[in-house]
Structure 1
Amino acid sequence: MKTSNTILGIIGAAAAGALLGVLFAPDKGSKTRQKIADKSKDYKDELKGKLENIASTISANGKDLMNQGKSKYNNAKAEVSDGIEHITN
């Protein structure tokens, strides 16, 4: 989680820097607004991709943990059944 916060911080700082750079550039207002819109879309798309990557990683890790838990449960269940069978025989 700390890495994702760092990534989001870097992206936010880069976006703020780009926005300030565009605002102080000597261009017409319409061109400046278009540049801001384009950069915003680029950053939005980049952030969306990173968030999707983080979500898929979390999902994969959750599935792995679930499978490990099921396996351990089944092993414990088998051991208990074997123990009960051993006691009753």
Structure 2
Amino acid sequence: MSNNGNTVLGILAGTAVGAVLGILFAPDKGSETRKRIADEAATRRDLMAEKATELRDSLGNSISTHKENLDHQVEAIVSNASYKAEDVIKTLETRLKELKEKNKNLQKKA
């Protein structure tokens, strides 16, 4: 995502520099050139603001999607751990019951 933002920013900056240089070397009056530079700067500023908004929205959507995926993964891990803990408890209870039975049998023999 950062690479796309840098690419867009580089393209916009290059376009702006090219436009300004083209206007400066054009054979117009100074007042016309300044007006064209101001107009071009306003256009580029608006374009950059629009691209920044698009980038922010895209980043926000990406973060939201990743957060949802992470929430689902954490929920699955917790659920899985809960089932495994329940299995361990059942196994330990069964083993304890068997040991108590063996102990009871040993005490009867003694």
Moved over 3 A (4+): none
TM-score by length of 2: 0.73
Q: 2:95: which partner in 1?
A: none
Higher relative contact order (CA 8 A, sep 6+): 1
Q: TM-score, normalised by structure 1?
A: 0.88
| Counterpart residue type for residue 10 of structure 2 | G
Matches within 5 A, 1:73-84: 73-84=74-85
Q: Which runs of 5+ in 1 are unaligned?
A: none
**Equivalent in the alignment of 1:32:** 33
Q: How many residues align?
A: 89
CA distance in 2, matches of 1:78, 1:50: 42
Q: Distance in 2 between matches of 1:3 and 1:59?
A: 15
For 2:9, the equivalent position in structure 1 comes to 8
Corresponding residue for residue 99 of structure 2:
none
Say which one has the larger Rg: 2
Fraction of identical pairs, as percent: 30
